[in-house]
Structure 1
């Protein structure tokens, strides 16, 4: 899912303890000189090889409290989160980032 914005199209989760895979195609938002949104962010997400979000238009940052909104930026970090999952340890591996044309 895209936190507080979109439910997934499917649930291809594997059993606890098995590796899960994500492939994310991210289109960053573009901002006008005044900070307003010129084009919003979009995400396409494959979870364990299954399309779960298809070019979804984000309404802004995914916040824990409050409604999503945009804050202008030029670059931002990629953040991975475990959400307090009790089946520790949570591990990440084989992370690739590449720019698309």
Structure 2
């Protein structure tokens, strides 16, 4: 994890039971993009945009269990056509 100005931004996670939305890093470990870790609720939020204007991509939320990050929410907007994130489709939501 990288600590920067009161924000904790996990750079990669070797023990993340699921894809963090950003693909693999050069060393093969899971990696996240545009991450923000909320230490109060122990959740890692990320958004991997499909292109620069961020009109498509994948948003994920992972919860820290004390041993690993577990995927709790995933939403996708697979078409890059200028749509807002209101058109994202929830593809996973845990209880």
Which structure has the larger Rg over C-alpha atoms? 1
Above 0.5 in TM-score?
no
Higher percent of residues as strand: 2
TM-score w.r.t. the length of structure 1 is 0.25
TM-score (norm 2): 0.26
